[in-house]
Amino acid sequence: MAGFFDTKIEFLKGVGPQKAALINKELNIFTYGELLQHYPFRYEDRTKFWKIRELSADLENVQIIAKIKKVELVSMGNKNRLVAHVADETGEMELTWFKGIQWVQKKLPVGAVFIFLGKPALFGRKWSIAHPEMEPVTAANEHRNNFQPVYSTTEKLRNRFLDSRGISKIMEGLVQGSLPHIQETIPDSIREQYQLIGRQESIRQIHFPSEPNLLQRARKRLKFEEFFYLQLRLLKMKVTRTEKYRGQILGNTELLTEFYNNHIPFELTNAQKRVIRESFMDMKSGKQMNRLIQGDVGSGKTMVAFICALIAISSGAQTCLMAPTEILANQHYEGLKEYADMMGIKIALLTGSSKKAQRRVIHEELLSGELKILIGTHALLEDIVQFQNLGLAIVDEQHRFGVAQRAKLWAKNETFIPHVLVMTATPIPRTLAMTLYGDLDVSVIDELPAGRKPIQTVHRYDKDRLKVFGFINEEIKKGRQVYIVYPLIEESETLDLKNVMDGYESISRAFPNYPVSIVNGSMKADAKDYEMQRFVKGETKIMVATTVIEVGVNVPNASVMIIENAERFGLSQLHQLRGRVGRGAEQSYCVLMSKYELSKDSRVRLDTMVRTNDGFEIADVDLRLRGPGDLMGTQQSGITDLLIADLSKDAPILTLARDAAQQVLANDPDLSLPENASILRQIRQQKKHAVNWSRIS
Ligand code: ADP
Ligand code: MG
């Protein structure tokens, strides 16, 4: 049976070797099965016929029924065009062709009545359609009640009569021939539960819808199927991993209790408590933890990390925390050292700029087990860094770490792979998280500590700069500090530097009485650090910087964030930058500066920032603007394989499909029950195809 769908398309009626080769090349489609899944990307409503008098310029494609009055060849210079004058009972109009004139001319006998389709345009006082689709009126098509599929195609294919209609013609034969071979891939019980129509019916409706309602149901079913198998694959990967890797049992809460009763500086939020509980369940389970903690900027991920470290330490293991930059590693170290000292726990910092002598001590104390918490940058990954017993590895701001680097962390404990906590402040829409991290467990800190005042965000144009300076001045007088951030200009490092240096100069001139710090990408790490520290200590009032301060830096007294050329930043970056303020008790502000003329997308980004502080809402808009592939910059997890489902629009279906996949695996982890035979067969099919593909490319 499977053989049918592997048939080469050249054997299809109306295709043949030459067209097949072109389709192979242009659409990357080789087999019946692949062509069958070349779904229409939209449908044209062919239920409506327009009268010539009703036409207007804002209409897209319209259908009219008209009688041919006269056909003439019009010459302009050395160019010919064919003009057909047609009429219905409400008026007259013209149809024009610039190409394929001879062929068209033969098809248009004066007096015949045709259905024409195309986009109307007004020339002078006459309506006209260029290169309309056309077909003679018959009893059948005059009263048809259907939606015409529109297939994506290419210029080269169109030149060989494989436009959308041409593809549709081929599809007719293919769908007819395929129906008896199409097997159901979703068990009846699930189809009933989620009210999904059968596979055969879906395939037929998706290509040749008989009514809108059925088309809707066909699309839903095919999207569900796609998500269902994607989720099944991810969930199975997770099950396999948990079975394969045992985890060190870290279940002692002695230190945690002591810290909680005597030292903790604030009440944890409920979300923090929940995430700690979720991680604790994993750490004591005997299975290796792989957990992603998503929490908006300022949601208190560091404290969650520290408490998990305490659990690991009371259970006899060590912990490391890896940050993407030296500044951040420093800040984590400074912050956590205070708590660790209270608890009498030894903690150290290891970065690229650690001195040799310091390193030696660190290496020794790690091996002896005396050093309990090691904080650092990529320097932690070096082979020479060996632990006595690394039980928990925490990675902050994960989007900067690659998979290979995570693997290096895993290798730091030969007996048990360390439990891994990945913390990210880049909110990922739930749909994407479910897909990209479907094999990780995800915890969300969806609550900010009490008493935070929401940051007020405004958008100002460059011409209002003086007013903005006035505002900066007032805030500094009140004792606050201010960030002014310039975009990285990717095309040119020199331009980049010039931009921020010009900014620095004009700021210094505008505020002669306030000391100003500057941090940019071309400064040495220690120079950066020095400037940063001056700002942290409050010695400087204004920090002029490129995006190096984007991640994690914490200066509670800084309450104003000015973002220059805000239209050049992506949404998640804007959100990250804004998250640098609003960390203290004072009202904080974010000012987005931009030029006056903005692209549509830039305007949506800036409006979104002004409207909301909710990282997830922002991430959803980002997903809609940029699409899933671009958002993650990734090919992983098969999100790019989706044919019909759309992560940015079909979240509800994804959720259902994930529930269904979970339910199936919970009842039947090996998929060995007879009722799940269709699932197993489909998975084998897909695997076989994956192999074929890797051979081709
Ligand atoms: P992020 O999640 O962005 O890494 P941090 O861990 O840096 O956030 O926390 C931001 C600030 O909030 C820190 O100053 C931290 O001490 C404080 N904080 C964390 N949790 C709480 C809480 N439950 N109540 C009050 N303040 C908190
Ligand atoms: Mg942080």
One DSSP character per residue, 127-179 reads EEEES-EEEE--HHHHT---EEEE----HHHHHTT-SHHHHHHHHHHHHHHHG
What is the best residue among 303, 328, 452 to mutate for testing ligand 1's pocket, by most ligand atoms within 8 Å of CB? Answer: 303
Question: Looking at ligand 1, which residue's alpha carbon is closest to its atom 23?
Answer: 268
Domain range annotation of the chain: 48-144, 254-445, 456-612
Element (H, E) at 227: helix 212-244
Q: Which residues contact 26 (CB under 8 A, 6 or more apart)?
A: 153, 154, 156, 157
| 269 CB within 6 A, ligand 1 | yes
How many of the other CB atoms lie within 10 Å of CB of 448? 18
For residue 545, which of 561, 567, 526 has the smallest C-alpha distance? 561
Q: Is 569 left (phi over 0), alpha (psi -120 to 50) or beta?
A: beta
What single-letter amino acid sits at 683?
A: I
pLDDT score at 429: 72
Residue with tokens 């494989």: 162
pLDDT in tens, 463-477: 999 999 999 999 999
State how far Cα 222 lies from the chain centre: 21
Predicted structure pTM score: 0.67
| 582 CB within 6 A, ligand 1 | no
pLDDT score at 550: 53
pLDDT score at 453: 85
C-alpha separations of 44 from 142, 212, 506 in Å: 16, 11, 57
DSSP one-letter code for 9: G
Q: Cα–Cα distance between 517 and 541 in angstroms, integer?
A: 8
Structure token digits, residue 56? 């207007």
pLDDT score at 549: 63
| 331 CB within 6 A, ligand 1 | no
Structure token digits, residue 688? 């076989």
One DSSP character per residue, 529-590 reads HHHHHHHHTTS-SEEEE-GGG-SS---TTEEEEEETTGGGS-HHHHHHHHTTSS-SSS--EE
- Among the bound ligands, name the one nearest to the CA of residue 306: 1
Domain boundaries 456-612, corresponding CATH code: 3.40.50.300
Residue ranges with strand state E in 18-61: 42-45
- Ligand 1 centroid to residue 285 C-alpha, Å: 28
- Among the bound ligands, name the one nearest to the CA of residue 273: 1
| 542 CB within 6 A, ligand 1 | no
For residue 523, which of 506, 552, 538, 544 has the smallest C-alpha distance? 544
Helices (H), 344-387: 356-368
Q: Is 84 left (phi over 0), alpha (psi -120 to 50) or beta?
A: beta
Q: Is 411 left (phi over 0), alpha (psi -120 to 50) or beta?
A: alpha
C-alpha separations of 169 from 15, 20, 541, 622 in Å: 10, 15, 70, 38
Q: Cα–Cα distance between 457 and 445 in angstroms, integer?
A: 23
What is the best residue among 299, 397, 576 to mutate for testing ligand 1's pocket, by most ligand atoms within 8 Å of CB? Answer: 299
Residue 58: what are its φ and ψ, rounded to 5°?
A: -90, 5
| 266 CB within 6 A, ligand 1 | yes
Q: Cα–Cα distance between 646 and 666 in angstroms, integer?
A: 26
Q: Which atom of ligand 1 is nearest to the CA of 554?
A: 7
Question: Looking at ligand 1, which residue's alpha carbon is closest to its atom 20?
Answer: 300
Q: Are 621 and 608 in contact (CB under 8 A)?
A: yes
For residue 556, which of 663, 483, 456, 632 has the smallest C-alpha distance? 483
Ordered mean pLDDT values, 10 residues apiece, the chain (697 residues):
83 92 94 94 82 87 92 88 94 92 88 92 90 82 70 89 90 94 95 96 93 91 94 83 85 96 95 97 92 87 96 98 85 93 97 93 97 95 94 80 70 89 78 70 88 91 93 95 84 67 89 90 80 90 80 80 92 88 88 94 96 88 73 43 81 91 92 92 79 35
Specify the CATH superfamily of domain 48-144: Nucleic acid-binding proteins (2.40.50.140)
DSSP one-letter code for 265: S
- Ligand 1 centroid to residue 330 C-alpha, Å: 16
Q: Which atom of ligand 1 is nearest to the CA of 268?
A: 23
C-alpha separations of 170 from 24, 141, 175, 209, 397 in Å: 15, 19, 9, 16, 50
Q: Cα–Cα distance between 533 and 517 in angstroms, integer?
A: 10
What is the best residue among 259, 296, 302, 551 to mutate for testing ligand 1's pocket, by most ligand atoms within 8 Å of CB? Answer: 302
For residue 1, which of 212, 143, 185, 137 has the smallest C-alpha distance? 185
Burial per residue of 202-225, b for 16 or more beta-carbon CB atoms within 10 angstroms, e otherwise: bbbbbbbbeeeebbebbbbbbbbb
| 320 CB within 6 A, ligand 1 | no
| 427 CB within 6 A, ligand 1 | no
For residue 561, which of 652, 475, 664 has the smallest C-alpha distance? 475
| 615 CB within 6 A, ligand 1 | no
Question: Looking at ligand 1, which residue's alpha carbon is closest to its atom 24?
Answer: 449
What is the best residue among 321, 327, 332, 554 to mutate for testing ligand 1's pocket, by most ligand atoms within 8 Å of CB? Answer: 554
| 377 CB within 6 A, ligand 1 | no
Q: Cα–Cα distance between 136 and 132 in angstroms, integer?
A: 13
DSSP one-letter code for 594: E
pLDDT score at 555: 85
Question: Looking at ligand 1, which residue's alpha carbon is closest to its atom 17?
Answer: 300
Q: What CATH number does domain 254-445 carry, 3.40.50.1360, 3.30.300.30, 3.30.413.10, 3.40.50.300?
A: 3.40.50.300
| 580 CB within 6 A, ligand 1 | no
| 301 CB within 6 A, ligand 1 | yes
| 299 CB within 6 A, ligand 1 | yes
Q: Cα–Cα distance between 622 and 605 in angstroms, integer?
A: 8
Beta bridge partners of 81: 74
- Ligand 2 centroid to residue 423 C-alpha, Å: 8
Asked if 254-445 and 456-612 have one fold, the answer is yes
| 295 CB within 6 A, ligand 1 | yes
Q: Cα–Cα distance between 616 and 636 in angstroms, integer?
A: 22
